[in-house]
Amino acid sequence: MTERDDPEKLPRALSEASTRVLLLSEAGAAVTGGQLLFLDGPAYVPQADDRQVFLGSHGAQSFVLAIVSSEHYPQIAPEQWISLREAFTVLGGIEAELFVEAQAIANWIRTEKFCPRCGSATRSATFGWGQRCVANGHELFPRTDPAVIAAIIDAEDRILLGANATFRTHMYSVLAGFVEAGESLESAVRREIFEESGVHVGDVAYRGSQPWPLPRSLMLGFTGEALSTELVPDGAEIQDLRWFTREQLGAELRAGSLQIPRGASIAHALIKSWYGEDLPEASK
């Protein structure tokens, strides 16, 4: 019997004092003192509609996700539930990885409640990582949608940054978008950049990836060579576009007139790689 076939794996983990339970509600994950709030396994008392998922082990500890309603935990103040976007700026290491993994599986569980073959309800299987149709036994597993994000550099070694319609004031980032059916990653980069900025892109090089469960993506990072520099924002998703030299970007960051993604985001990593050193913070 493999670990994933063991029906007692999850209840056994919840009975162990070394197990840590991560709470995730519709409002986000519970935090305290700038860190994720974990309950001891035996201290966690599930509500009738809670869903649990075994997230894995790290050292001597096991981690279990509890997908809950914030109403079940009135002792946790509303401001203690933080979204994944907020968490990227404050969490690091194993906690950031756990939150990303937890959010990804929770999004899938919340949306995939019925069998695509017959429409019947599904029940949890493989200690949270699968679902099984109650009528025909068909098994469902999480899917991941690829997305691309790219730092586009022109012949003057400037980087292209844009202001998305969903960003808060003065936030600029590298451009991103989803891969379409039958499309290569490189083609997706060229198409997305042209659609959002009007810039034609030549050579494209892979730089790294990051899970991005908003709602269930894997973000694949690239750099790209700009073959043109005229900027034409699409006006819907992208509200403004600018080419930045390192001196310009550094000066605006120090002045606080512009912000970029921070924390563990791949967008920050791509911008930092081009910049060549730690990016400045706003002067106090």
Question: In this predicted model, what pLDDT tens digit does every residue of 78-91 receive, in sequence order?
Answer: 989 999 888 877 77
Check pLDDT > 70 for residue 128: yes
Per-residue pLDDT at 1: 31
- Rounded Cα distance between 100 and 213, Å, is 7
> Over the chain, what is the mean pLDDT?
90
Per-residue pLDDT at 4: 53
Beta bridge partners of 126: none
Q: Residue 132: exposed, middle, or buried by beta-carbon count in 10 A (0-12, 13-18, 19+)?
A: middle
Per-residue pLDDT at 84: 87
Which is more confidently placed, 237 or 168? 237
Most confident among 8-17, 131-140, 183-192 (mean pLDDT): 183-192
Assess contact for 187 and 243: CB atoms under 8 A.
no
Q: Residue 14: exposed, middle, or buried by beta-carbon count in 10 A (0-12, 13-18, 19+)?
A: buried
- Rounded Cα distance between 156 and 129, Å, is 48
Kindly state the average pLDDT of the residues 248-272: 92
In angstroms, how far is CA 229 from the centroid of its own chain? 30
Residues 6 or more apart whose CB falls under 8 angstroms from that of 277 comprise none
Assess contact for 211 and 220: CB atoms under 8 A.
no
Per-residue pLDDT at 2: 43
Q: Is 252 helix (H, G, I), strand (E, B) or coil?
A: helix
Which of 116-120, 165-169, 247-251 has the lowest average pLDDT? 165-169
Check pLDDT > 80 for residue 169: no
Q: How many CB atoms lie within 10 A of CB 223?
A: 20
- Rounded Cα distance between 189 and 209, Å, is 14
Structure tokens at 15: 């009975």
Q: What is the pTM of this model?
A: 0.80
Check pLDDT > 50 for residue 9: yes
Residues 6 or more apart whose CB falls under 8 angstroms from that of 284 comprise none
Check pLDDT > 80 for residue 166: no
Kindly state the average pLDDT of the residues 33-62: 89
Question: Which of 141, 6, 104, 11 shows the shortest CA–CA distance to 133?
Answer: 141
- Please name the residue that has the structure tokens 């005229």: 230
The amino acid at 64: V
- Rounded Cα distance between 34 and 87, Å, is 9
E strand or H helix at 194: helix 185-197
Per-residue pLDDT at 3: 45
Question: In this predicted model, what pLDDT tens digit does every residue of 84-125 receive, in sequence order?
Answer: 888 877 777 888 889 999 999 999 988 888 999 999 999 888
| Cα angle 233, 238, 242; round to 5 | 60
